[in-house]
Structure 1
Amino acid sequence: MKEKLMEDLKWRGLLYQQTDEAGLEDLLNKEKISLYCGVDPTADSMHIGHIVPLLTLRRFQMHGHRPILLVGGATGMIGDPSGRSEERQLQTTEQIDRNVAGIKKQMEQIFDFNSENGAQMVNNNDWVGSMSVIEFLRDFGKLLGVNYMLAKDNVASRLDSGISFTEFSYMLIQGIDFNHLFNNYGCRVQIGGSDQWGNITTGLEVIRKTHEEEVKAFGITIPLVTKADGTKFGKSAGGAVWLDAEKTSPYEFYQFWINTADADAVKYMKIFTFIEREEIEAFEITVQEEPHLRKAQLRLAEEMTRLIHGQEALDQAIRISKALFSGDLKTLTANEMKDAFKDVPSFEMAKEDKNIVDFIVDSGVSPSRRQAREDVTNGAISLNGERVTDTAYEVSAADRLDDAFTIVRRGKKNYKMVKFV
């Protein structure tokens, strides 16, 4: 089982750098270990780009190891220079606390906390926040030379544009974290994205220099996820794809995965899902032989939506998708319609009864009154999924969902949301 874990990670393309591949494999063959991954609370939600190291950590848990989830209440106040060309905006303590709470909730969705090797959640503010400046400089500042720190990519890349001492000290604080978890939780491994290599190896250096006897700790990084066309992964038309349902609804989340390109579908199944190798290889064949059926994308969307939002949210996302495909909107609730048509063109209109012809012309659905009458009589106009064929029809409060909006469809796929003010 343990040997299979590392083989599986390699097959899925989840191993980028390792500090000691043979040593780690030997350790995993001999014992169950604790290992950790950290997330800084820079926002009150993670997005899908954040979760690859966490899902990799979950794979270790599924093989009997114990994950430690570190939420950086302290490091979040400092700002990681990795992968950035300028300083982060510092956040207030209150905002950091809100962000920590949001991220903890999302981690609880991904990990098992109740089994024998249940996940543990920690906040580095618990040990870094109480440390005085003198303690920091005396006990840890002396461990690393400035030249050592300047040579790290995450610092070296910022020297020309400028880096404050605050962000310069970030890697040392993360090194303190690894050392603390090593001492107090028996943590032997840190996992992170490829941009975390410098921070992870700094942690190993701190551990080495604070222990007289030789100790074994390890670091692993995960490759950056990219799209086949070279564009940035994790972005949709509306921006980042968040795990928070208020920022990215389960339906939008589901649609993001459904819209995965054929060239990326199997790759994402390997990286993001826990589907077994044999089944993924079968999907690889369907992508090549029956790409129009989009079986891999459907399975990918189902697995990811269920994992992050639960079965009920997945069922709702599927129901919305089917209703939009069939054009039968009557099966949807007002909230589901609002969700489904969030990004369609909209028009604001006063709350008043209006003849259907005037209504669709004024809202820009039909270009002229003549065309509007023709559209109505030909059955091309629907309000909230109900076809209107009578040119004398009066659009009234009964057509306003939540007394706030009406979904108008012209033809098969031209939708507009009329918002009432």
Structure 2
Amino acid sequence: MNKKLLTEFKNRGYFFQCTNENYLEKLLESKKISFYIGFDCTASSLHVGSLIQIMCLRLFQKFGHKPIVLLGGGTTMVGDPSGKEESRKILTEEQIEKNIQQIKGIFSKFLDRENMEKVVYVNNKKWLTKLNYIDFLRTYGKHFTLNRMLTFDSVKTRLEREQSLSFLEFNYMILQAYDYLELFKNNDCLLQIGGSDQWGNIVNGVDLIRKEIQGEAMGLTTPLITTAQGKKMGKTEDGAVWLNEDLVSTYDYWQFWRNTDDRDVIRYLYLFTELEVETIKSYEQYTGNQLNGLKILLANEATTLLHGKKAAQEAEETSRSTFEERSTGKDLPSKKIKKSEIEKGIALKDVLLEIQFSSSGGDFKRNMVNGAYRINNIIETNEEKKITLTDVVNKQIKISFGKKKHFVINVI
């Protein structure tokens, strides 16, 4: 069974790089292991960009391995420079602790399941804040060379762009390596998984374990996920797609997946659902309207994992009544306009300014360029667009701004 784990890991698109793939495969065949993924707590929630790591935790857990979730109460005080163009905001210890408690609630939805290996939560503040700086440098600093550290992408990219990299951030990779050493010694943790931007940090940990205590540890990375349009996964015109319901409602979360680009839907089914690989393969030749059905399937499956099946079904029903059936929905703001006015044509720009979907002409143009406006759920990119009778469906015209704001014009 465990031999199939790495195969499924690859088939789903999770595999990017491994420190010793053959050894890892043999290790997973021979025993159940403890493994970890670290998450810094810079916000009160994780967003969809972290979901691939959560799915990896869940997959390994499904195959009987023990997941360790490291919540970086200590490293969050420093700030990870990986993938960042500027320093992170420094948070207080109280803010970090509050974030940790809220983020743990997200993991409980995905990982706390009956008859599965129980997840272990650790906070690196427990050991990092107790380090004596001089002793730490004498004991572990000798294992790290500046020559090599400067070659890692997280450092090299910032320096090439002539963006400042503080000494505080430069220490981050050493602290993450020390985290792995601690978990290896005290939790028998043999594998660290992370995004591809974490490769240098992970390799540092593997090397430190080997040099310091002659241990054999493994590193495994996943690809960084971007959309077919080349944008960062989980970012929209409305901001990040958070996993906490108080920040992004179940309905808006469902809509995020429903609005997936045609080119991404199959890939996302592999990455963000637990549908069988063979089932998803059978969908790969789907085109046109068939893809719309797959997007609904994706939205239902992804939303079920986070919010439960009932919530996913309710979100689908709300979407159907709001868009497919062209219903106004009970809570949508609306206004009445005479048919004769619509017949003459009304500038979309004027309507958007009136209903406060744009604050100015410049704002209108920026939103239009970003594809933020929809008429009857179809993106509108023509700045000169006039609303006419051709836009009327069942005596209504639905105007949307992003995924959260909708307005209905009732034609009388």
The structural deviation recorded for 1:370 is 6.7
Show the counterpart of 2:325.
Answer: 326
Show the counterpart of 1:306.
Answer: 304
Map residues 141-156 of structure 1 onto 2, 5 A cutoff.
141-156=141-156
Which amino acid counterpart does residue 398 of structure 2 have in structure 1? K
Map residues 260-409 of structure 1 onto 2, 5 A cutoff.
260-285=260-285, 287-288=286-287, 291-292=289-290, 294-324=292-322, 325-329=324-328, 337=331, 341=332, 360=335, 366=337, 371=341
Show the counterpart of 1:259.
Answer: 259
The structural deviation recorded for 1:369 is 10
Q: Which one of the candidate residues 402, 407, 410 is aligned to 1:416?
A: 407
The structural deviation recorded for 1:146 is 2.3
Conserved 8 A contact 2:74-2:125 = yes
Which amino acid counterpart does residue 299 of structure 1 have in structure 2? L
Conserved 8 A contact 1:36-1:189 = yes
- The alignment partner of 2:263 has SS state of helix
Conserved 8 A contact 1:189-1:219 = yes
Q: Distance in 1 between matches of 2:395 and 2:105?
A: 42
- The alignment partner of 1:220 has SS state of strand
- The alignment partner of 1:416 has SS state of strand
Map residues 124-273 of structure 1 onto 2, 5 A cutoff.
124-159=124-159, 160-211=162-213, 214-273=214-273
Show the counterpart of 1:92.
Answer: 92
Conserved 8 A contact 1:178-1:190 = yes
Which amino acid counterpart does residue 416 of structure 1 have in structure 2? F
Conserved 8 A contact 1:113-1:120 = no
1:326-352 deviations in Å (ceiling 9; x for gaps) = 24456x5xxxx3xxx5xxxx79xxxxx
The structural deviation recorded for 1:139 is 2.8
Structure 1 268/369 Cα, relative in aligned 2: closer, same or farther at 3 Å?
Answer: closer
Q: Distance in 2 between matches of 1:207 and 1:215?
A: 5
The structural deviation recorded for 1:269 is 0.6
Structure 1 117/293 Cα, relative in aligned 2: closer, same or farther at 3 Å?
Answer: closer
Structure 1 312/116 Cα, relative in aligned 2: closer, same or farther at 3 Å?
Answer: closer
Of 294-303 and 148-157, more deviation after overlay is shown by 148-157
1:339-371 deviations in Å (ceiling 9; x for gaps) = xx5xxxx79xxxxxxxxxxxx4xxxx53x7974
Conserved 8 A contact 2:109-2:305 = yes
Map residues 103-118 of structure 1 onto 2, 5 A cutoff.
103-112=103-112, 114-115=114-115, 117-118=117-118
Structure 1 137/318 Cα, relative in aligned 2: closer, same or farther at 3 Å?
Answer: same
The structural deviation recorded for 1:54 is 2.0
Structure 1 89/282 Cα, relative in aligned 2: closer, same or farther at 3 Å?
Answer: same
- TM-score (norm: length of structure 2): 0.79
Q: Distance in 2 between matches of 1:253 and 1:63?
A: 28
Structure 1 28/176 Cα, relative in aligned 2: closer, same or farther at 3 Å?
Answer: same
Give the total of aligned pairs. Answer: 351
Structure 1 410/128 Cα, relative in aligned 2: closer, same or farther at 3 Å?
Answer: farther
Q: Distance in 2 between matches of 1:162 and 1:136?
A: 25
Which amino acid counterpart does residue 300 of structure 2 have in structure 1? E
| Amino-acid identity (%) | 40
Which amino acid counterpart does residue 208 of structure 1 have in structure 2? R
Q: Distance in 2 between matches of 1:116 and 1:244?
A: 24
The structural deviation recorded for 1:410 is 6.2
The structural deviation recorded for 1:237 is 2.9
Conserved 8 A contact 1:262-1:291 = no
Which consecutive residues of structure 1, in runs of 5 or more, have no partner in the other structure?
Answer: 348-359, 375-408
Conserved 8 A contact 2:328-2:408 = no
The structural deviation recorded for 1:248 is 1.2
Conserved 8 A contact 2:398-2:407 = no
Which amino acid counterpart does residue 170 of structure 2 have in structure 1? F
Q: Distance in 1 between matches of 2:39 and 2:164?
A: 24
Which amino acid counterpart does residue 191 of structure 1 have in structure 2? I
The structural deviation recorded for 1:105 is 0.6
Conserved 8 A contact 2:46-2:242 = yes
RMSD, aligned α-carbons: 2.4
Structure 1 61/369 Cα, relative in aligned 2: closer, same or farther at 3 Å?
Answer: closer
Conserved 8 A contact 2:45-2:103 = yes
The structural deviation recorded for 1:17 is 0.8
Q: Distance in 2 between matches of 1:318 and 1:52?
A: 23
Q: Distance in 2 between matches of 1:173 and 1:10?
A: 29
Q: Distance in 2 between matches of 1:302 and 1:253?
A: 10
Q: Distance in 1 between matches of 2:34 and 2:341?
A: 68
Of 112-121 and 18-27, more deviation after overlay is shown by 112-121
- The alignment partner of 2:126 has SS state of helix
- TM-score (norm: length of structure 1): 0.78
The structural deviation recorded for 1:166 is 0.5
Conserved 8 A contact 1:283-1:295 = no
Q: Distance in 1 between matches of 2:67 and 2:164?
A: 36
Conserved 8 A contact 1:34-1:186 = yes
Conserved 8 A contact 1:113-1:119 = no
The structural deviation recorded for 1:231 is 2.9
Which amino acid counterpart does residue 407 of structure 2 have in structure 1? K
- The alignment partner of 1:158 has SS state of helix
Q: Distance in 2 between matches of 1:371 and 1:86?
A: 51
The structural deviation recorded for 1:114 is 5.0
Q: Distance in 1 between matches of 2:291 and 2:268?
A: 17
- The alignment partner of 1:284 has SS state of coil
Q: Distance in 2 between matches of 1:151 and 1:174?
A: 17
State which structure, 1 or 2, has the greater radius of gyration over its C-alpha atoms: 1
The structural deviation recorded for 1:284 is 2.0
1:64-99 deviations in Å (ceiling 9; x for gaps) = 111111110001110001011211110111111111
The structural deviation recorded for 1:5 is 1.2
Show the counterpart of 1:21.
Answer: 21
Q: Distance in 2 between matches of 1:262 and 1:24?
A: 35
The structural deviation recorded for 1:309 is 1.4
